[in-house]
Chains A and B, each alone.
Chain A
Amino acid sequence: MKQNKMPFIEPGDRTVFKVPENYFKDFEANLERHLDTFEKEKVSSNGLLQVQTKAKKFKFSMETHRPILYIAAMFIFLLFSISLVLNLSSDKTSSSLRLSAESQTTSTTSSVPTAEDYLINSIGTYGITEYYVDSEYLK
């Protein structure tokens, strides 16, 4: 037979390969430990996955709501600029009001007759000049 030419071990014979004593029993025990660790890791990774999925969902919602966010941002900017413009114009008005008030004050103050005014009015410009000139000549 052809097969006899080869130094074949009889089919089914595995004697060249050996395993440590009680290997299969120990393997079962080891595998149980590994399965426990594997399950724990799976649970923790599932938790992490859930957190990641939530984050992803949040990111996704950010993406879908981006136009709305842009519009909101623009609206806020518009409000801000309007309020700024209004503030400036109100400032201008108030300052002009303040100026007019100041001018009014000055005008009121100028309209109130002082003692000096009274004297000038009663004596007259000419009289005063005459007074000064005369007093010069008197010296």
Chain B
Amino acid sequence: MEKIDEKELMQMLGDENQRRKAFDILVKQYSESLYWQIRKMVLCHDDANDVLQNTFLKSWDNLNQFRGESKISTWLFRIAINETYTFLNKERQRNQSNLTDMEDVMIQNLQSDPWFSGDEVALKLQKAIMTLPDKQRLVFNMKYYDDMKYEDISEVLGTSVGALKASYHYAVKKIEAFLSLEL
């Protein structure tokens, strides 16, 4: 697949006749990286698929509102994060009405997910990560799994590098504490 740089993509998106084609390229270019960010937050493949689909539908619908002040990848990433938070909050509300813990339900779903091949240790790690607040979990995933630079995380989340470093540090401490009890 030919990779088109952001500037060219932006020009194509601005042109009504080329918009759809440009959006298809956009989907091809970013669907995988967005999927993995979402997947690590919602854990189950089916849920990640739904959130990713909503992300692209929403971005298509709001394409006119994109002013080009940030990178298109950052803009997409923000939409994906918002969609993920919306999904998690809905799940939380649904489980609250059923008097169950959303995190426990998600781990149970992950265990039965055919697209999760982790062993017991990997499942415990996921349990530990699930104890973190949503934003801290996101920071941890970006740093730990994707090895993203703090500067890049800062651009996406709109949080200072210092705060991100602190957040990651506390996240690691919490996970260590959880795992020392569990293992």
Beta-carbon contact of B146 and A12 below 8 Å: yes
Within 8 A of B (CB), among A9-33: 9, 11-20, 24, 27-28, 30-32
Which residues of chain B come closer than 8 Å to A11, judged between CB atoms?
143-147
Which residues of chain B come closer than 8 Å to A3, judged between CB atoms?
172
Name the distance in Å between B34's Cβ and chain A's nearest Cβ. 11
From B23, B117, B118, B176, A6 is in contact (CB under 8 Å) with B176
Beta-carbon contact of B145 and A7 below 8 Å: no
Q: A12-B146, A27-B31, A28-B31 are in contact. Are A18 and B116 (CB under 8 A)?
A: yes
Which residues of chain A come closer than 8 Å to B183, judged between CB atoms?
7
From A14, A24, A32, A38, B145 is in contact (CB under 8 Å) with A14
Q: Residue-by-residue, is A17-55 near B (CB-CB < 8 Å gives 1, otherwise 0)?
A: 111100010011011101100100010000000000000
Which residues of chain A come closer than 8 Å to B179, judged between CB atoms?
6-7
In this assembly, does A139 line the interface, its C-beta being within 8 Å of a C-beta of chain B?
no
Within 8 A of A (CB), among B13-35: 20, 23-24, 27-28, 31-32, 35
Bound-complex Cα distance A18 to B46 (A): 11
The count of residues in chain A whose C-beta lies closer than 8 Å to any C-beta of chain B is 27
Cβ-closest chain A residue relative to B115: A18
Stretch from B3-11, B48-56, B69-77, B96-104 that touches the partner: B48-56
Beta-carbon contact of B118 and A16 below 8 Å: yes
Q: A19-B35, A31-B53 are in contact. Are A5 and B24 (CB under 8 A)?
A: no
Beta-carbon contact of B45 and A16 below 8 Å: no
Beta-carbon contact of B40 and A17 below 8 Å: yes
From B57, B121, B146, B175, A34 is in contact (CB under 8 Å) with B57
Q: A13-B145, A18-B117 are in contact. Are A24 and B125 (CB under 8 A)?
A: no
Beta-carbon contact of A30 and B53 below 8 Å: yes
Interface range on chain B (Cβ under 8 Å from partner): 35 or more
Beta-carbon contact of B115 and A19 below 8 Å: yes
Bound-complex Cα distance A32 to B52 (A): 13
Bound-complex Cα distance A11 to B39 (A): 16
From B116, B144, B176, A2 is in contact (CB under 8 Å) with B176
From A7, A15, A30, A34, B124 is in contact (CB under 8 Å) with A7
Which residues of chain A come closer than 8 Å to B28, judged between CB atoms?
28
In this assembly, does A8 line the interface, its C-beta being within 8 Å of a C-beta of chain B?
yes
Q: A14-B145, A28-B24 are in contact. Are A6 and B57 (CB under 8 A)?
A: no
Name the distance in Å between B46's Cβ and chain A's nearest Cβ. 10
Identify 8 residue pairs between A and B in the complex whose beta-carbon atoms are under 8 Å apart, listed by A's number.
A16-B116, A16-B122, A17-B40, A20-B115, A24-B35, A31-B31, A34-B53, A38-B61
- The 3 A-B pairs with the shortest beta carbon distances in the complex, nearest first, are A16-B118, A7-B121, A11-B147
Name 20 extra pairs, CB < 8 A, besides A14-B36, A38-B57, A38-B60.
Answer: A2-B176, A3-B172, A6-B125, A7-B122, A7-B124, A7-B183, A9-B122, A11-B144, A11-B146, A12-B146, A12-B147, A14-B40, A15-B117, A16-B116, A17-B39, A20-B45, A24-B31, A27-B53, A31-B53, A31-B57
